[in-house]
Amino acid sequence: MRITIVGGGFSGVALAAALQRVAPTGAHIHVVGVDRGYGGGVAYGEARPEHVLNVRARDMGLSPDQPEDFADWFNLSDRGRSAFLPRQLYGDYLRDRLHGLLDGAGAQVHAVRREVVAIERLDRGFAVRLEDGAAIISDQVVLAVGALPPPPLAGVGPRLAIHPAYIGWPWQEHAIERIDPDARVLVVGTGLTMADVLATLRQRGHRGAIDALSRHGLLPAEHTGQPLAPVELPPAILQALAEHDLRELLRRIRALSKLVDWRALVDALRPHTQAFWQGLPAPQRGQFLRHLRAWWEVSRHRIAPPVAAHLHALRASGQLRVIAGRLVRAGRAEDCVSVLIRPRGASDVRHERYDVLLRATGLNTDVARTTHPLLAQLRESGMLRADADELGLDTSDAFEVVDARGRVVPGLYCLGPLLRGRYWEITAVPELRLAAQRLAGVLVARHAQDAGIASAALLQSAPARQSQRSPSVSPRPAPGS
């Protein structure tokens, strides 16, 4: 059994851990990822000291069977288990768990710190081509690449696009360090990435004005200081979920939110979200994505109380201004970034001048237009396609990748945020670790099925081969017998 996991972030490590528990002895599992951030991915491997988790430590274990493993690994007190710890610490935890897998019993896990540039189909299995030209021959391949690089920002002119005043990815080396503390900054995006950017600017003592722009101008909601008591969903909401009735579900949620904390209600919906999304008719999916998506994102993906307090303080002081609108055009003028913004609901545009334009639009899973080398190669070769809503990859319910002709690619699977089109809620640790456990079972079952078919074919062909040999090897009858 030869499995290659493409991606060295959380999804890749969680799947390798799940496979080592259930795969047969002698199986070979290669976890392949770029050296930078290996074992933690972008979210945890490249985090900075000021960036904190958006989930309490007690819920961040690698396995769904041991949700408090991270808190146990760090030997946290009861108070610490409810805290939002630095993401760098979680990256250390993931690397430690991966290192333990390399020395573990059972299936053999191999760490490969290389970039995968192509995947080629063979008569049986795949050749996973690395940046140095070497290849890993695999029976099964799992795409666990995480989020994709951000695409070009619409409206940015060609001169600005190559100028240091435009930062297309805030975590590229020394990008934020080059910003003058007195610079006036426009941040495009008001979600979790923006919150991280502002935390880093604050850490560096930034004094200049900051504008944050997004279509709705919504900031992420805040977690409560202490965990909320779980909420049991009433029958009316459970019925709306079972019937995939978006309008009725919203009506029931609004009514119940007057009686209980809405955050506890959102948390109670999480176990039902994937099934609800999968059964939601296409027109209602479209309505959700057009009109409700932004509200769901800020309610569901909340920030730690200290981060929220920092944002509130910046707004109260006037240093941070949040704008609901759209970037129409941004270009490089003589001594500034010249920007045209259309405020939400307005027909006119307004002109602003900034020293720096920084993109912080967050999670990108646009497979149809990505420049990610591997995904682009697979897309152009016809081995994959975007899902109907262009939220990620088109896949089967067994995580199998669907090709350009709508057929499953046997042996090619996906895990992580690129599954948003099928599951929607598949970007956070609790959902990802469950998916990793399920996919591990799928991979082992598929291997057993293929091995069984191969064995049956050998058994069926054995009598035929014996029959063909018998005339030439059977003894001649003795005379007079």
According to the model, what pLDDT value does residue 460 have?
66
DSSP letter for 355, please.
S
Of 467 and 384, the structure prediction assigns the larger pLDDT to: 384
pLDDT at 481 > cutoff 80: no
Going along the chain from its start, the domains and CATH numbers come out as 2-149+365-450 (3.50.50.60), 158-222+302-359 (3.50.50.60), 235-300 (no CATH)
**Mean pLDDT within 275-283:** 96
According to the model, what pLDDT value does residue 453 have?
64
According to the model, what pLDDT value does residue 475 have?
35
According to the model, what pLDDT value does residue 477 have?
37
pLDDT in tens, 377-435: 999 999 999 999 999 999 999 999 999 999 999 999 999 999 999 999 999 999 999 99
Q: Which residues pair with 352 in a beta bridge?
A: 339
Phi, psi (rounded to 5 degrees) for 156: -80, 125
Q: Are 462 and 454 in contact (CB under 8 A)?
A: no
pLDDT at 476 > cutoff 50: no
According to the model, what pLDDT value does residue 452 have?
76
pLDDT in tens, 80-106: 999 999 999 999 999 999 999 998 878
**Mean pLDDT within 229-244:** 95
Report the distance separating Cα 86 and Cα 152, nearest Å.
Answer: 30
3-state secondary structure of 389: coil
Report the distance separating Cα 21 and Cα 64, nearest Å.
Answer: 13
pLDDT at 11 > cutoff 70: yes
pLDDT at 471 > cutoff 50: no
pLDDT tier at 458, thresholds 50, 70, 90: low
**Mean pLDDT within 30-34:** 96
| Measured CA distances, 385 to 132, 367, 411, 466 (Å) | 27, 7, 16, 47
> Of all helices (H) and strands (E), which one includes residue 382?
none
DSSP letter for 147, please.
S
DSSP string, 204-231: TT--S-EEEEESS-PPPPB--SSPPPP-
- Residue 411 in tokens: 């042996």
**Mean pLDDT within 256-284:** 95
Q: Which residue type does 28 have?
A: H
